Amino acid sequence: MSSAEKVEQGPGEALVSIEDVDSSPATRYPLSPEALVPRKGGRFWAVIVAVLLSTFFAVFKAYCVSTALPVIVSDLHSDQFVWVASAYAIASTALLPLSGGLADMFGRKPVILGSVLMFALGGALAGAAQSMNMLIAARVLQGVGAGGMTTLSQITISDLVTLQERGTFNGLIGLTWSLSGCLGPLVGGSLARHTQWRWMFYLNIPACGLVAILFLLFFSPNKPPSLTRKEMVARLDIIGNTLLVGSTCSVVIGLTWAGIDFPWVSAQVLAPLCIGVAGLVAFLVYEWCFCEYPIVPLSVLSNRTSLSGYVQIALSAFVNIVLLYYLPVFYQACKDASPIASGVDLFGLVFSTGPFSIIAGASIAKSKRYRPPLWIAWCIMLVGIGLISSITESTSRIATICYQIPAGAGIGMVFAASYFPVLAPLPTKMNAAALSFFVFIRTFAQIWGVTIGGAILQNELQTRLPQDIQDSLPGIHNIAYAIVPLIPSLEEPEKDIVRKAFAQSLVTLWRMVIVVGGVGLLASLPMKGLPLHTQTDERYALQEKPEDNGLQEN
């Protein structure tokens, strides 16, 4: 067996053969009959509630601003609306791998409390913003906190629950994610309607206070191994993090400008994109060839099972964000729906994602097999996207909502299950690095999804919309969002022509998503059916009170 086919385990653990899928779990993960795990007492469940709440608020804040943005832009007298969302995305993406490294160095509790504090502070400053620049700066701080909260939530779950048991908990996170993604636009739109958008941010303060209290009172993990100052500097991986943060920011800036502030072929877009991609390549070369303590170890990508999991979460996140962003465009352009009503019309997608996340997680927890749920998920997702691609401007609204259900079900199942092929081949001591990169890949893919989806829609509309309508919007690059508010006031037959142009343009986008889903299904085929870990990382185990320290057989 080659070195690329082995992954080093922690002390006292055997080497796992990634290719040896025919051997029994007992052979690969020998456990004595006396193997014991801590009973899940009240402190455990209090921490789980804190984890779910932190995930809810981080996702909620990412989505709630979209429907309130027109009012915010009007109040602050600025046209730099795109950076309100982009600043949050850049900050929450670029520092994700670093948060995992900091959690290994300083322990989980200080990092997650620091993230909650930054999230709350960012919300307070955003609510008090008197200019767009101040709001954007506050959103950067808020994004840093949200990224740390999202990553540490996943890492904390992995510390407290073995991989065999984790399916149900992953499902709960998926359900939390879908609920917050659904409620965010509705709450944002409701507050914007009453010109009370600042309360979207001020509500961060009591929410973060509740999360912080739960973590302070009940979260008592073991202290991390002590390190010398030299070791701490080395583990910070300053060069690697600088390359990653700079490259990620450069790519996101290019994608943010593309097609809105500058044409795709302009130097203002191509230069940051090329510099960012080159920087990401340089980052991987440095991490894998020169860095002593890489934040993205080669071993997390050097086996085909983990690599398959990373590709699957990236592609499913891409599909999910395209549907979330551009289905509302369909309802607003083709069904005359208001922004809030278009959010309600997404219920088929968002409300199917959560329950099926739980179903997938529970089935993995029971069967100890993650490949069948993933294969089924991709097939269901493709069926749903295929149905969505058949939608025209005259398709009934109830049918379009029903078509979303299989797509959302497949996405929810992949979100819950793709976690397992990533971690199954790796030792538990690599949980933080593997999971922070997992969240980074998922978030980064969403940025690409929004931008590529927008480019396809923009190009298709330019070929299908009547030229006189395009000429009525001089100097506006993003004609899709500029025309949507005008459609209800158009006269017939012009209105029908525009609605048909939007529906046909979106069909091209949905067909692209079908291709992405097909690639996701193909990417799921090489992964191996490895057994799920029955251990957690004891370095960061929860310190239970004496009354909670009962043991039960595994």
**Residues 360 and 483 both lie in one domain:** yes
Domain boundary among 230, 257, 276: 230
Residue range 29-45: average pLDDT?
56
Q: Are 523 and 312 in contact (CB under 8 A)?
A: yes
**Residues 413 and 326 both lie in one domain:** yes
**Residues 377 and 487 both lie in one domain:** yes
Q: 173 exposed, middle or buried (CB, 10 Å; 0-12, 13-18, 19+)?
A: buried
Contacts of 467 (CB under 8 A, 6+ apart): none
The residue range of the domain holding 202 is 38-230
Query: In the numeric block, which tokens belong to residue 97?
Result: 């791998």
**Residues 415 and 315 both lie in one domain:** yes
Alpha helices for 418-547 (secondary structure H): 419-423, 431-464, 467-471, 479-483, 494-524
Give the pLDDT confidence score for residue 543 in this predicted structure. Answer: 62
**Residues 213 and 327 both lie in one domain:** no
CATH at residue 402: 1.20.1250.20
Domain boundary among 230, 248, 267: 230
Alpha helices for 290-346 (secondary structure H): 304-334, 339-344
**Residues 71 and 203 both lie in one domain:** yes
**Residues 202 and 126 both lie in one domain:** yes
Count of CA atoms in the C-beta half-sphere (13 A) of 188 = 24
Contacts of 455 (CB under 8 A, 6+ apart): 258, 259, 264
Q: What is the pTM of this model?
A: 0.81
Q: Is the pLDDT of residue 33 over 50?
A: no
Residue 515 resides in a domain? yes
**Residues 404 and 480 both lie in one domain:** yes
Residue 399 resides in a domain? yes
Residue 553 resides in a domain? no
- The total number of structural domains that make up the chain: 2
Residue 551, phi then psi, degrees to nearest 5: -115, 150
Burial 432-467 (b: 16+ CB within 10 A, else e): bbbbbbbbbbbbbbbbbbbbbbbebbbebbeebbee
Q: Is the pLDDT of residue 554 over 80?
A: no
Residue 254 resides in a domain? no
Q: Is the pLDDT of residue 155 over 70?
A: yes
**Residues 329 and 224 both lie in one domain:** no
Residue range 325-348: average pLDDT?
83
- Mean pLDDT highest for which of 66-80, 163-177, 222-236? 163-177
Residue 425 resides in a domain? yes
Domain boundary among 207, 230, 253: 230
Closest CA relative to residue 156, chosen from 111, 205, 119: 111
**Residues 199 and 319 both lie in one domain:** no
Q: Are 423 and 436 in contact (CB under 8 A)?
A: no
Helix (H, G, I), strand (E, B) or coil at 412: helix
Q: Are 427 and 12 in contact (CB under 8 A)?
A: no
**Residues 218 and 313 both lie in one domain:** no
Residue 548 resides in a domain? no
Q: Is the pLDDT of residue 12 over 50?
A: no
Residue 463 resides in a domain? yes
Residue 181 resides in a domain? yes
Q: What value does the mean pLDDT of the chain take? A: 81
The Cα 319–Cα 455 span in angstroms is 15
- Mean pLDDT highest for which of 197-211, 243-257, 510-524? 510-524
Helix (H, G, I), strand (E, B) or coil at 464: helix
